[in-house]
Structure 1
């Protein structure tokens, strides 16, 4: 298990399906992308497997040579179709606040295009101390380590791998495509039903670390 936090405490959070429920906006964006390109995309299926980079999902629908241009178009459409329709996950604001109340810092590390991730955070009034985008799985560990994160909170087995790479405690929330059993099998140290359970867990974690 990763070591307890050193002070100041830094906690990392994933974005999609951890802090925000991005399914409605992503579904709408895929539907519009499908309409404009004339390429069938099962948007309802795509939103059941959020987490990996956009290019990975597009590879299910487009030939490799088209993916860079299609990804750029998706990100442009995303601004119009996904930001306002995306709510915060239950407990998201309170989770960020709990870290601050404990005297800590928060950093969001996500596979999402960073400018679009920032639009989500601004729209919802979620203000981490740092945001790093376009990183997935083990690559997230590099950013977490650079920011000294002792804990990383995410919903996907890729987030567990990112925490492990950083030497951080993996706190998994079962609010995304991976259920508790998958997260546990991937090596998550802590599994929460959702972020509403995070403040109480953090209080115990900080108290244990200070003992």
Structure 2
């Protein structure tokens, strides 16, 4: 069982997009507004099928490289107006965070998303983690996971699996985003759940095993 010995408190990290929240409706709306404002065609339906990587990677499909920094800034400015209200919590998200607290642990969110916008989503949905750390993708997520002593990281993307493993944390994956269960297992996920509704029962078993 993988653990971080210096940290006695159970700390579980969660990804945000397509793990805790279904951000597709909001992101689609924001891309459509960005397209209308810039006059650049963006296939928003396609864009939301590949959520996970940083914004700049998606914008590179639609804008010249030298325009991406300014366009990314504008997207982030528009985001609260278009993306927060339409975005629901994923099934089991609130219960998953609550299960960590019930086990005496702390829950953190580690995401590639612009941190202020990540916080807006969680506040809007009434999900209250102990910390939110943004702007970290794939292996870079290990920075925050190590800092907070997370022994488990839950995510939906292959990059989340790599982040967990780089941090020496147990990788718990849910195929609720762009990656299938088989792809997540092949990348090295230690546990694959159907979705977060299965997380509380899994955590109870994990915690009991850790205590034993």
Aligned equivalents of 1:139, 1:8: Cα separation in 2? 23
Aligned equivalents of 1:183, 1:3: Cα separation in 2? 21
Structure 1 equivalent of residue 184 of structure 2:
183
Assess if the C-alpha contact under 8 Å between 2:4 and 2:150 holds in 1: no
Root-mean-square deviation over aligned CA pairs: 1.1
Aligned length: 211
Aligned equivalents of 1:139, 1:24: Cα separation in 2? 27
Aligned equivalents of 1:59, 1:154: Cα separation in 2? 24
Structure 1 equivalent of residue 2 of structure 2:
2
Task: After TM superposition, give the deviation of residue 4 of structure 1 in Å.
Answer: 7.8
The 1:139/1:4 distance shift into structure 2, 3 A limit, reads closer
Structure 2 equivalent of residue 120 of structure 1:
121
Aligned equivalents of 2:144, 2:198: Cα separation in 1? 25
Structure 2 equivalent of residue 155 of structure 1:
156
Task: After TM superposition, give the deviation of residue 2 of structure 1 in Å.
Answer: 2.6
Structure 2 equivalent of residue 23 of structure 1:
24
SS of alignment partner, residue 19 of structure 1: coil
Task: After TM superposition, give the deviation of residue 76 of structure 1 in Å.
Answer: 1.0
Aligned equivalents of 2:70, 2:204: Cα separation in 1? 46
Counting only pairs closer than 5 Å after superposition, residues 68-147 of structure 1 correspond to structure 2 as: 68-147=69-148
Assess if the C-alpha contact under 8 Å between 1:169 and 1:189 holds in 2: yes
- TM (norm. structure 2) is 0.98
SS of alignment partner, residue 70 of structure 1: helix
SS of alignment partner, residue 209 of structure 2: helix
Aligned equivalents of 1:99, 1:23: Cα separation in 2? 26
Assess if the C-alpha contact under 8 Å between 1:25 and 1:86 holds in 2: yes
SS of alignment partner, residue 142 of structure 1: helix
Assess if the C-alpha contact under 8 Å between 2:4 and 2:149 holds in 1: no
Structure 2 equivalent of residue 51 of structure 1:
52
Moved over 3 A (4+): 3-6
Aligned equivalents of 1:37, 1:2: Cα separation in 2? 48
Aligned equivalents of 1:17, 1:77: Cα separation in 2? 20
Aligned equivalents of 1:8, 1:62: Cα separation in 2? 45
Aligned equivalents of 2:192, 2:4: Cα separation in 1? 17
Task: After TM superposition, give the deviation of residue 171 of structure 1 in Å.
Answer: 0.1
Structure 1 equivalent of residue 62 of structure 2:
61
Aligned equivalents of 2:135, 2:209: Cα separation in 1? 34
Aligned equivalents of 2:3, 2:98: Cα separation in 1? 23
Task: After TM superposition, give the deviation of residue 7 of structure 1 in Å.
Answer: 2.7
1:196 is the counterpart of 2:191: no
Task: After TM superposition, give the deviation of residue 77 of structure 1 in Å.
Answer: 1.1
Aligned equivalents of 1:149, 1:102: Cα separation in 2? 14
